[in-house]
Structures are given as C-alpha cells and as structure tokens.
Chain A
Amino acid sequence: MKFDVMLTGVGGEGVLTSGVVIARAANLEGHYVRGVQLHGLAQRGGVIPTFVRFGSEDEIHSPGIMQANADLILAFEPLEAVRACYYARKEKTIFVISDHRYIPVYSSILDIPYPKLGEITRRVIPFSKKFSVFSAHGLAKEELGNMILGTTVLIGAATGMEALPLEEDNVRKAIETTVPGELEKNLEAFELGLKLGRSE
C-alpha cells in the first residue's frame, strides 16, 4: 500500500505543521513514512508545498511525490490548488481545498487579477477525480476566532470525508504531540472539520 499526500499553501499558513501532523498520524498507524518539507527563503509569503507519503516500506523510497501521482492534494489556498495540478491527474487525485484567498502582492504590482473561485475550479477539474471546497478558514475565524486554525479544520474535513485514509484518533493523537501549546483550539478545529467532511 502506498498513499501520497501533497499539502500546499502560502508560507506562514501552517502548511509545514499540518504535514507533520499527517506524518505522525500515519506513523501511529504503523505505516512507513517518507516526505519532504521545503524551508528557507520560500517561507516568506512564497508557495510551500509539503509532501507526505505513507504505506509499505517496500513501495516507498523517494521523499517527493512523482508528477501526476498524488492521491490527495490538501490546498490551504485556492490559487495554489491550480499550481498543484502538476502532481495530479483525473484517474487518482482528490482535491480538498480551503476557499480562503491569500492574494499575492504581485497581483496588484503586475496587474494580474486573482481569478474567481469558479475559474479556479474550472482549471482544477480536469486533474481531479473528486473535488471538495470548504470554508475552512472562514469557519475557523467565525467559530474559534482564529483564522490560522483553518488548516486543522481542513485536515478534519479530509479525514471526515475519508479522503485521508487515517483513523480519526490517530490524527487527534498526532495533533496532541505536534501542537501541545494550542491543543484545545486545534482539537476543536479538527472536530469542526470532521463534521464538515462527514456531511460532504
């Protein structure tokens, strides 16, 4: 068995931490885990894709996912879902997207408008087997008063809709070991996401 997850979004959004949560949850489930995090300059408002792969040790070697081979793409920012299509294809990839826009400054500097959500969907659909958009960040802000928890809401949604094949309890435990300082809010965010995902 082999499952390839790509997480993408904007530096500072918590993409990296979300990747660690998924990796640790997979480890708790007894999977062999590989993956890549990119650090450095790209963090500063740039795009930061993170890859997490889990399954059997005989099948997983490369830390990165191969082009057109992601099983799941978690996009914490809709525009970045389009750029993630490099790793996606119609036959296998599920997209789970938060609709919270993070407009790049280059949009105004270069006068290139940020596309409407419908336009983004239109571009992603040819690369997706299944496609779900949630107001993860909006909900986090409304219900918990902190937008950044939207990343945890989205992980919850992916788990709830079984797009992320991991036990809920293992994800909870991974959240506990990864962000112990902000545990309660993150667990609440995860529950909110689970509900969203189950009703999908």
Chain B
Amino acid sequence: MTSEVLGRPGEKVVLLGNEAIARGAVEAGIGVAAAYPGTPSSEVPMVLASVADEVGFYFEYSTNEKVAFETAAGAAWCGVRAITAMKHFGLNVASDSVLPVVYTGVRSGLVVMVADDPSGWSSAQSEQDTRYYARLARMPMIEPSNPQECLDYTKLAFDISEEFEIPVFLRTTTKVSHSIGTVELGEIREPKTRGEFRKDPGRFYSIRPRLQELHGRVDDKLGRIEEKYGQRLNQVYPGEGNIGIIALGVGFEYCREGLLQLGLTTPIAKIGMTHPMSEEFITGFIEDKEAVLILEELEPIIEDFVKQVAKDVNPKLVVHGKDMLPRSGEYNLETILPVLGEVFGKKPEVDFKAHERQVREAERGLPPRKPVLCPGCPHRSTFYAVKEVFGDRAVYAGDIGCYILGIFEPIEMQDFVISMGASAGLAHGITRVSDQDVVVFMGDSTFFHSGLPPLVNYSFNAKRSPLVVIMDNAITAMTGHQPHPGSGFTGMGEKVKPVKIEDVIKGFGAKVRVVSAFNQRKLIEALEELREIEGPRVLVARGECRLLTRRRLKSKGIPIVKYVIDADQWKVHEDLEEIAEQFACPAFMQGEESGYYIDLDLCWGCGVCKQIFPVGVVETLRREAL
C-alpha cells in the first residue's frame, strides 16, 4: 500500500493521523528522526523511514525510546530539527532523559510525539494518561483532533520548541493517530541536516546551583508560551445557551457530531494546548456560563483545572465531567450522545441499549475470533516444545511482543506480562524465593530494548537462574516489521553487520544453545540439556517471522511447500484431535465427519505439524500439486 504523504503542496489527500504527523515533520524541515516502534504511534516512524532518503533527512530505529529521544535531542542541541515518536509506555522508558532536557533546553525544534491508548487496543500495561507527564516534566503539550490538525500542530510544535528553546510534546490517542481524514498539504521546508555542538558551560547540565536557575527559566518559558499560544491553540466555537462544552482531541470531534445529531448549537471551547493550560482562556469561556460539560478521555485533568479557575471567577458554575463519563476506556459517539442528551434534555434517534440487546441476541453462540499467532509462526512451535518439556507446572514469564498471544488458550504460557524486558527481572525475583521452575520468554527486539540489564544481572547475582528462551524471529514483528540490531539492516535500509544475540549472551558468561524454532526434536533436546544447568542459561529459538518468509518467497516467485493430512492414517491413531487442538494452527480445519484437514490456502509451510503427529499422518504436498 503506497502512502500519499509526499504529495504536492496544496494537494488534498487522505492521510492517517500518524501519516499526517510524519508529513508535518517533513514540512517542518526535520534533519533527524529516531524512534523505537510502539503502536499506536508506529506509523509515524514507518512513514518517516520510507521517505527519509528521498527528502534527505536522517532516520533510525533506535534500540529503545530513551536512546531514540537522546538521538533526537543531541541533534536538536546542534541546531538540527528533530522528532521522536513513541507510545505512552515508551515515554516511561525515555522519561529519565526527557525531564532534564526540559531544563537544559534545545537550540532548534525538538518534538516528542506520544500516543496514548485508552481502551488498550494495542497495549497491555495500563491506561496511563500522558498529560500528567507534561505537568511532571513541565514541558509544553499540544493535542490535535484530526489528521489536518496532526499536520498543522506538528509544524506548530516545532515553531514553539524553537522559539522557546524547549522540547514540546505532541500528544495523540489511538483514535487520533489511527483515524483518517482529508488533509491539505503544505510547503516542504528544505531539511537542515548538519549542525554543530557549541560548548556552553553551565547550559547542558543541571547540577546545583544551576539547577534552580534552570528550573526558574522553565517557569518563565511556560508563562510566555501560555501568553502567546493560550488564545491561539485553544479556540471557542460560539453557540447558544448558558451551558458550554469543553473538549479536546477526538472527543472534540465526537462532540461536534453529537451536537449535530441532537440539533443543538451549544458553545464549545476546544483545548489544543493541554500544558500549560491557559487560565485566561478558561476564564473567558466559563465566566458567563451556568454549567460546563468537560469531554476528556482518561483523567480529569482539565476538569480539575476548570474547577480551580471557577472558584475565583464563577463559584456557582456547575462542572460536569467524570460524574457523568467514565475515567477508563476511550469515548465514542455512543458514550457521548446519551450524556449530551441528558444534559440538554434531548433523545438520540436510536435507542442504543435496545439495539444493543438485539445485536447480542444475533451474535449469540457464534465462535469467537480472537487474535492468534499466524500459521507457520515460529513462536507456536517454541511454545509447543517448551510445554512438552516443562508441562503446565513451570512458571512462564511473559513479555511484550507477538508471543503475548500465548496468553490465550490453548497455549496459556504467559503467566504474567508487565513491561518490556520485565519477564527476566520478575523471574529473577521469583527464583530468589521459590524452587519452582521458571521459564522466561523474551523476543529478540525486546532483548535489545530492555532485556540486557536483567540478563546480565543473572550472571552477577544468580547462581540458580531462570531458563531464558529468546524467541528470535529477526525483526520487531508485532508493530509492523521494523529492524533491530540483530536484523542486519537499518531503518533506512542500509546493510549492517547483525549483532548476534548468542554472542552478547556468551559475553555475560551464560550457557547458550541456538536451535531452529521449526525443529521440535532439537528444541526439546536443548531444553532438556539446559534444564539440568543451574546457572544462567539461554535458548535462542531462531526462526524468521513467517510473514517475512512468505513475502520473500513470493517476491522471488518460489512456491511455499505445503502439507496435507492423510485421512486414512488419521484413523489409525488415537488422540490426534488433542494434538491438533493443542498446537492450534489456524490452517487446521475440522472435517465434516471426523478428523482434521489442512486448509492449503492458510498453510504457510513451516512443517512443524509433520513433526508433532505420528509418522505418516502429515505428508509434504508435492510442488506440482500446488
């Protein structure tokens, strides 16, 4: 699928919010972009990677968000505009450097794009509200509502950052990043890619007594930003009545459409800058109102601010927000319309609840469709072998990556999932106090991102350590196949020498076995061998992401070898259903009468099923038959 992100100025195209942010960065003349992929922000770096060469700026996939932020900040210190993009949890990783860089400031525009994920469409950790980070870091934060604003605000973020020499957050949520919309493209500024670090003693560290001075300077910058942009980024959409609505992000879009549906012309205050909040703007909007309804997803940050301002300027103001709307989960028209209906005494055209009951009835008894590991996925094979050796009794430490799907039945081998690399750290704690067998599952990209410190800690502090299985598919698969140090190529497609996971681990002094993830016998042998070792031990289960194998073979015109189940042989053996249901390849289909067959359209030819069933049950389909 081709993107229209490099269209001509003045052209109207349809872009994804994240694509529009990437276009905004290009229009702003960035010289450097660096990121670690994290959905819902992933398309920002993906698009930037795809156009970096053509436009002429530097792009990299860094090993984690902290390194990515530092890469961008270093460039911005040298007078080169830079952007980094991350998901909300990525900011937790980067924050250690983000906070002090707010104090030191930058010499040219530095934008930190952060995507929150209310409802957790692509996230498993928490529904954290990144707006608190803006307050914690005392860093400006602006928030677009739709793809056009994604583009415009990105450019504006660079301008604010450069003018006040402070990094700026561009915050989105899933439905801003992943919504599409008509966007009018602007002029592309020639990228400035070279700069210089000019020594400036006292500027780039915040050791006392400079610390307080720099802190004071941040306060001053925020005050001036509030003054200059408070009226410009926040906007009143005038209307009738003495009840007002305050909204931001995608909530603003729902609000406008909701009012339209109910035939209302209520005044709306749209918040485009969530930090610093403009007291003057809020005062202007609320001083003549009887009541306001605040539509903000997640935490009541604006609500608290409005209540505080109202105390002085309009103490009788009724403030509705979290008393009517949930704190958890993203909003949509179905959440907002009934609330608008209640506040303004209007009824939506459709009775949502009655309609929903009807839908539930229609859906009753249907087989669920949850996300599953792809056909031919190396992780399925690795999980299967580990269960053969360790059964259901071992503690299975989970981590972030496609293998998180091992949570679901029939695999059920992710007893906990906390954060990137946390599998190994938590497993270590468990092993310190329990004699249980503990197996750690960690992906290759996660290993480079946050797996190194807990694994080197095993060599330092654990005579008896958990068994670590690195599921190495050579790529960051879940977020869309971005390269990492082990992949052998960079974000701009340049070939580099891959860092071998086994070499790194050997350097830690751990016992390492490297085995094909598609070879059940060898996996089991290696696991049995490593089980007998007490100290640090790592199995690298190596198998390319099958999506990539498939794409590679297809581009070369090589057909995938496929497999078939011999129906007569199936009848000879007992309990084969159990094996089929435990392995649960999406290509296995239950036949009309008895037994399973393999759907050849879905078989991606990993050949593991041939190894797990008794000899003769699964046969290789000859090429000619394809």
Contact = CB atoms under 8 A, between A and B. Distances in A.
B575 to A, nearest CB: 15
Interface string A74-112: 000001101101100100000000000001111111101
A115 interface: yes
Contacts of B178: 36-39
B257 interface: yes
B63 to A, nearest CB: 21
Contacts of A139: none
A61 interface: yes
A196 B536 CA distance: 63
A120 B22 CA distance: 42
Contact of B250 (A42, A63, A113): A63
A109 B409 contact: yes
Given A86-B359, A178-B1, A68 B350 contact: yes
- Chain A CB within 10 Å — which of B182, B358, B402, B590 has the most? B182
B366 A67 contact: no
A31 B256 CA distance: 19
Nearest to B587: A105
Nearest to B117: A40
Contacts of B478: 40-41
Contacts of A79: 366-367, 369
Contacts of B175: 36, 63-64
B1 A20 contact: yes
B1 A64 contact: no
Nearest to A42: B371
Contact of A45 (B16, B250, B260, B374): B374
A168 B597 CA distance: 41
B190 interface: no
B274 interface: no
B586 interface: yes
B465 interface: no
Contacts of B355: 67-68, 89
A79 B334 CA distance: 24
Nearest to B374: A44
A113 B365 CA distance: 9
A43 B371 contact: yes
Interface string A135-172: 00000000000010000000000000000000000000
Given A44-B402, A83-B366, A64 B333 contact: yes
Contacts of B405: 41, 44
Contacts of A113: 367
A38 B371 CA distance: 13
Contacts of A86: 356, 359
Contacts of B122: 39-42
Contact of B371 (A37, A44, A147): A44
- Chain A CB within 10 Å — which of B146, B362, B368, B374 has the most? B362
A61 B258 CA distance: 9
Nearest to B360: A86
Interface in A28-77: 31-47, 52, 57, 59-64, 66-69
Interface residues of A, number: 68
A183 B377 CA distance: 29
B607 interface: no
Contact of B372 (A37, A105, A179, A180): A105
A104 B367 contact: yes
- Chain A CB within 10 Å — which of B14, B256, B367, B588 has the most? B14
B419 to A, nearest CB: 16
Is chain A's binding surface mostly helix, strand, loop or mixed? mixed
Interface string B32-72: 00000001101100000000000000000000000000000
A46 B371 contact: yes
Given A41-B122, A67-B355, A177-B2, A46 B369 contact: yes
A42 B256 CA distance: 29
A45 B410 contact: no
B181 interface: yes
B12 A66 contact: no
Nearest to B404: A41
A23 B3 CA distance: 13
B584 interface: yes
B601 interface: yes
B256 A106 contact: no
B584 A41 contact: no
Contacts of B402: 44
Contacts of B581: 108-109
Interface in B432-462: none
A20 B4 CA distance: 11
Contact of B179 (A24, A36, A103): A36
Nearest to B478: A41
B363 interface: yes
- Chain B CB within 10 Å — which of A103, A109, A127 has the most? A109
B324 interface: no
Contacts of A173: none
A85 B589 contact: no
A67 B363 contact: no
Nearest to A45: B372
Contacts of A57: 182
Contact of A27 (B12, B250, B333): B12
18 contacts: A20-B1, A20-B14, A33-B182, A38-B178, A39-B40, A39-B122, A40-B478, A44-B405, A45-B373, A61-B257, A62-B254, A62-B258, A62-B332, A63-B175, A66-B257, A104-B370, A106-B369, A126-B362
A-B pairs, top 8 by smallest CB distance, nearest first, are A40-B122, A63-B179, A46-B371, A107-B367, A61-B257, A40-B39, A112-B367, A104-B369
